[in-house]
Amino acid sequence: MNRLLNGISASATVSFNNLAKKLKEEGKDIVSLAGGDPDFETPERIRDALASAVEAGHTHYCDSRGIVPLRERIVRKLKEENGISCAPENILVTPGAKYAVFLAIMSICSSGDEVLIPQPSWVSYETMTRLAGAVPVGLRLSMEDNYLITEEKLESHISPRTKLLIINSPNNPTGRVMTAEEWKAVRNVVKKHDLYLISDEVYEKIIFDGRKNISPAAFEDIRQKTITINSFSKSYAMTGWRIGYMCAPRVVTEPCYLQLTHEISCVNEFVQYAALEAFNCEKESLEMRREYEWRRDYLLKELSSLNGFTVMKPEGAFYLWVRIERENMNSQALAMWLLEKAGVVTVPGEAFGKGSKNCVRFCFACSRSDLEEAVRSIKECI
Ligand code: GLU
C-alpha cells in the first residue's frame, strides 16, 4: 500500500452518516443528527433544469475547467456577493467543494510542507494534507474564548515550512463566523510569511443574527494568495449533485486543472447546467436559512438546559457543538452512549482535531420532528 495511506481512516462525518442510513434500513428506531445533509428537496427549478439539460443532449465530456456559462455566472456572483474580482480563468468547477480543497492542497504543497489548521476543524483537511504528502499542524483553539483566532496564536504555530493556512467560516463544527478583527490577524500572518490561504466558504449563506460573511479574497493585498472554495451543496440543498468550485490565481488553478484532466476529465455537463439555475433560487435558499435559524434556537435552548452540557451558540452553518461532562466518557464514548441509549446518531468531537475533547457535533439540517424526537429521547436517557 502507498505509505501515504498508512493510518488513514474513513471520514467520520461520512461514516456516521452511512451508519445512520444503515440502521434506518435495518428498521432501527434512530434519529440521525450526523452528516451535514439538508433535509430539504433541491429546488424544483434546478431539478427541471437538469431534465432539460439531459434532453438537450448535454451528456458528454465538456470543458474540464467547467462550462463557460457557469464559470461566467460564478465570476458575477463572486463580484456581486463577495466583492472578489476575478475572471473565468480563475474558476475551476469541481465535483463538490471537497475535491477543490484537495486539488488546492495538492497543487500548493510539496512533501514535508506544513499546513496550518486552526481546530476544531472539518474532518477532512488533515487527511487531505497527509494524502498530499504534506504535514498538518493543528492549532488548538478553545471553547473558553469562543474559539477566537489571533495573530499571536497563528504565529506560535508558524515554521519555515509553513506553506498554507486553512480557514473555514462559518465553521464546521463550531458554528463560529470569523470577525473582521480575526480576518485582519489572518491577513497579517499570510502577508508576513507569504502563505497561501484556503478560505472554505461553503456555509456562507447559512449565517444567523444578521451577520455577514467576509471573503478574504476581496482584500486586494492577499487576493493573489487566496483560494476561495464554495459549493452548491449547502446553499441550495444539492449535496448529492456533487458540484462545487474554486476561485484562485492562475498559478493555483492551472496545476489543479492539469490534475483534474487526468483524474476525472470534467464534471458532469448536465449537472453544471442545472447548477446555473441555482443562481435563480436565492428565495428558496433564504427560506432554508430562516428554518435553520429556528432549528438552531430550538436545539440550543433544549440542549443548554441539560445538566453537564455546554453548548456553543452557532453563528452560522447547521451544527451544534456541545461539550458533555459525563464521568469517564470521551467523545467517542459519548457518541456511542447517545446512539445506544437515546437512538440519536451524532459525530464524535475527536474527529475534528484538537480542542474537541468531550465534544459531540449535532447536525440540525433535519426536520423539526426529528429534532423534537432527538431532544425527547436524550432528556429521557439523562
Ligand atoms: N461536510 C458534511 C459534514 O461535515 C458532509 C460530510 C463530509 O463531506 O464531511 O457532515
Condensed to tens digits (0 to 9), the pLDDT of residues 303-355 reads: 999 999 999 999 999 999 999 999 889 999 999 999 999 999 999 999 999 99
Our mutation pick for probing the ligand 1 site, out of 32, 37, 122, 347, counting the most ligand atoms within 8 A of Cβ, is: 122
| pLDDT surpasses 90 at 253 | yes
> Of the residues 123, 171, 201, 320, which should be mutated to test ligand 1's pocket, given the most ligand atoms within 8 Å of the CB?
123
Residue nearest to ligand 1 atom 3, measured at CA: 36
Q: Rg for the chain (alpha carbons), in Å?
A: 20
Confidence of residue 382 (pLDDT cuts 50, 70, 90): confident
Atom of ligand 1 lying closest to residue 363 CA: 10
Question: Which atom of ligand 1 approaches the CA of 14 most closely?
Answer: 6
pLDDT number for residue 316: 98
Determine the distance separating the centroid of ligand 1 and the alpha carbon of 351, expressed in angstroms.
Answer: 12
Summary count for the chain: helices (H), strands (E): 12, 13
- pLDDT tens digits, one per residue of 25-52: 999 999 999 999 999 999 999 999 999 9
pTM over 0.85? The answer is: yes
Question: Among residues of the chain, what percentage have pLDDT more than 70?
Answer: 100
Span 82-94, pLDDT tens digits:
999 999 999 999 9
pLDDT at 288 over 90: yes
Q: How far is the CA of 14 from the centre of ligand 1 (A)?
A: 6
User: What local confidence, expressed as pLDDT, does residue 281 receive?
Assistant: 98
pLDDT of residue 320: 98
For residue 17, is pLDDT > 90? Answer: yes
**Residue of the nearest CA to atom 5 in ligand 1?**
36
Taking residue 153's Cβ as centre, other Cβ atoms within 10 Å add up to: 17
Query: Residues lining ligand 1, judged by CB closer than 6 Å?
Result: 11, 13-14, 35-36, 98, 122-124, 172
CA of 17 to the centre of ligand 1 (A): 9
Distance 339 CA to ligand 1 centre (A): 19
Q: Whose CA is nearest to atom 2 of ligand 1?
A: 36
Which cell numbers hold the place of 219?
Answer: 482584500
Grid cell of 293 as nine digits: 435559524
Q: Give the distance, in angstroms, between the CA of residue 15 and the centroid of all CA atoms in the same chain.
A: 16
| Residue whose CA is at the smallest distance from ligand 1 atom 1 | 36
Across the chain, mean pLDDT equals: 97
Q: Give Cα separations from 21 to 18, 29, 30, 98, 360 (angstroms).
A: 5, 11, 10, 21, 19
Mean pLDDT of 211-217: 97
Residue 242: closest CA among 292, 206, 202:
202
Nearest ligand 1 atom, CA 36 = 10
